[in-house]
Amino acid sequence: MSWPLYEVFVRGKRGLNHVHVGSLHAADDESALHSARDLYTRRNEGVSIWVVRSAHITASSPDEKDPFFAPSGDKVYRHPTFYSIPDDVPHI
């Protein structure tokens, strides 16, 4: 048996993003979806499920974590706290 590995994402309720919950093996997309329902939503934990073959995911590598995320490291001006506003200015 060499069923491919699928990653499972569940939307907990309307208004939330799908969140990764785990993985499973399945023969095809359809059976992956059914198994994901049985495995990850036995107690109404979800209103929507995505399954995707693990092999189809492209991920950043932890080895190059520092250079990969470096461009955002020195841009403190992207954060609201970078700007000093006097305390007596309301609603800002």
- Please give the residue ranges that form the binding site for another protein (CB under 8 A): 1-3, 5, 21-28, 31, 38-39, 42-43, 59, 61-63, 65-66
Min separation Cβ 46 and another protein, Å: 13
Residues 23, 31: Cα–Cα separation, whole Å: 13
- First CA to last CA distance, the chain: 60
For residues 28 and 3, is the Cβ–Cβ distance under 8 A? no
Min separation Cβ 74 and another protein, Å: 17
Rank residues 72 and 84 by Cβ distance to another protein and give the closer one. Answer: 72
For residues 7 and 16, is the Cβ–Cβ distance under 8 A? no
Min separation Cβ 57 and another protein, Å: 12
